[in-house]
Amino acid sequence: MDSTMISSGAVTNRIDQLEKSGLVVREINPRDKRGAVVSLTPAGLAKVEAALEAYVRTQARLVAVLEEAELSAFDGLFRKLLDSFDGL
For the stretch 20-51, pLDDT in tens is 999 999 999 999 888 889 999 999 999 999 99
Mean pLDDT of the chain: 92
β-pairing verdict for 36-40 and 24-28: antiparallel
Domains by residue range for the chain, with CATH: 8-83 (1.10.10.10)
8 Å CB contact between 25 and 17: no
Q: How confident is the model at residue 85 (pLDDT cuts 50, 70, 90)?
A: confident
What SS3 state is found at 73? helix
pLDDT of res. 5? 83
- Which pLDDT band holds residue 88 (cuts at 50, 70, 90)? low
| Contact indicator for 50, 44 with CB cutoff of 8 Å | no
